[in-house]
Chains A and B, each alone.
Chain A
Amino acid sequence: MAARETNPNFMNGVPELLILRLLQQEEMYGYEIVQAIRSRTDAVVAVGEGVVYPVLHGLEGDGALTSRRRTVNGRSRIYYSVTPAGSHRLADLSETWANLAAAIQKMLTGGQHGEAIP
């Protein structure tokens, strides 16, 4: 079975953005987060699933997330949710990403000096 391909350089900051966005809607645990990212991006965003935890722990360390342990169906899970600081961070990241996406879109569709790509 071939290893799943990821695009780590381009992905910098993207998992953080997606995680904050997901957790703003509801609290989730790691496995749920990864499945939600996969299903909501139609598997376009592919990450090694275990790598989500350092991102979660990092965000928690920065105060953007908070966690609590819950037992569901006999299994203990660590659920994450967004803090007010995390909401601010999400807003900043969203704005940065929207600007970047708009700039790339402009580049691809022509812009001042470019030509439209068919």
Chain B
Amino acid sequence: MAKQFHELRERLLRAGVAPRHVRRYLTELTDHFADLRAEEERAGRSRADAESAALLRLGAMDDLAKAMIEQRQFQSWCVRAPWATFGLTPLLLLAGAYFVALFILWSGWQMFLPGAVTPFGHRVNGFVNWYFQAGRSIYFGAPVFVGWAIALTAARQRFSAIWPTVGLVLTAVIGCMARVHATPPAVPGGIGHVGMGFSLWPSARGSLLYALVILALTVLPYLVWRFQKALSLTA
């Protein structure tokens, strides 16, 4: 029975049914199957016969799959709008992460380095160091975490590689081109500003190398998962 339910799960996911709907459907089918098997056993059937009868009463796998696939409300957003899931959402997540990183940089500058013309290049210790490192980690980690989110989403939905690849490449390119800059206060004692731009400066080669690192870090877990999946199917 586990094999049939496994096949049903794969079929539903590949057809675009959202993982949470698939999980719940299979949980209820498993419970229902157990009830039917118990009922058949109470009627005097052997365990094997009871399982066969229960499976028959539950319905053909084609019918069970079709009943879910036909209802559009069970479709995941990956399938309904892949451009939004793998294109727009990563951009918004990156924008949000960069905003938080910039805010940490700017607020740290105002709180811990008042009067400094730039938040960069200062030797700081203790909590202040942790504060700035948190922002730095978010800034550098964001493309990788967003890439992992894309890979995880694609893997959970058994999605084909095209749209996830678009999302991963987009994330890596933005990650490698993002540059933070600080504008000193216009007047002594004023408030400076931090901002963000996108360029290949100072080194196109270095930027591309960084893009490849991001891509490798995010694509590798996805490739390993696909490889394992392929192995399990051939086994």
Contact = CB atoms under 8 A, between A and B. Distances in A.
B25 A3 contact: no
Contacts of B70: 54
Interface in B16-62: 21, 24-25, 27-29, 31-32, 35-36, 52-53, 56-60
A99 to B, nearest CB: 26
A49 B25 contact: no
Nearest to B68: A54
Nearest to B69: A54
A54 B58 contact: no
B64 interface: yes
Contacts of B53: 1
Report the contact-size class of chain A (Cβ under 8 Å from the partner): 20 to 34
A111 interface: no
Contact of B28 (A48, A53, A58, A75): A53
Interface string A1-26: 10110000000000000000000000
Given A1-B53, A3-B56, A57-B25, A51 B32 contact: no
Interface in A30-62: 30-31, 34, 47-51, 53-55, 57-58, 61
Contacts of A53: 25, 28-29, 32, 67
A48 B27 CA distance: 17
Nearest to A54: B67
A55 B58 CA distance: 14
A30 B32 contact: yes
Contact of B21 (A4, A30, A31, A57): A57
B153 to A, nearest CB: 21
Given A57-B21, A61-B73, A78-B28, A50 B58 contact: yes
A48 B71 CA distance: 17
Contacts of A89: none
B59 A49 contact: yes
A45 to B, nearest CB: 14
Given A3-B56, A57-B25, A75 B63 contact: no
A48 B36 contact: no
B159 interface: no
A49 B54 CA distance: 10
Contacts of A4: 56-57
B33 to A, nearest CB: 8
B29 A50 contact: yes
Nearest to A32: B35
B75 to A, nearest CB: 12
B145 interface: no
Contacts of A55: 67
A46 to B, nearest CB: 10
A50 B25 CA distance: 9
Interface in A43-95: 47-51, 53-55, 57-58, 61, 75-78
B31 A30 contact: yes
Pairs A-B, 10 closest by C-beta atoms? A48-B59, A54-B67, A31-B35, A50-B58, A50-B59, A51-B67, A50-B64, A48-B63, A54-B68, A61-B73
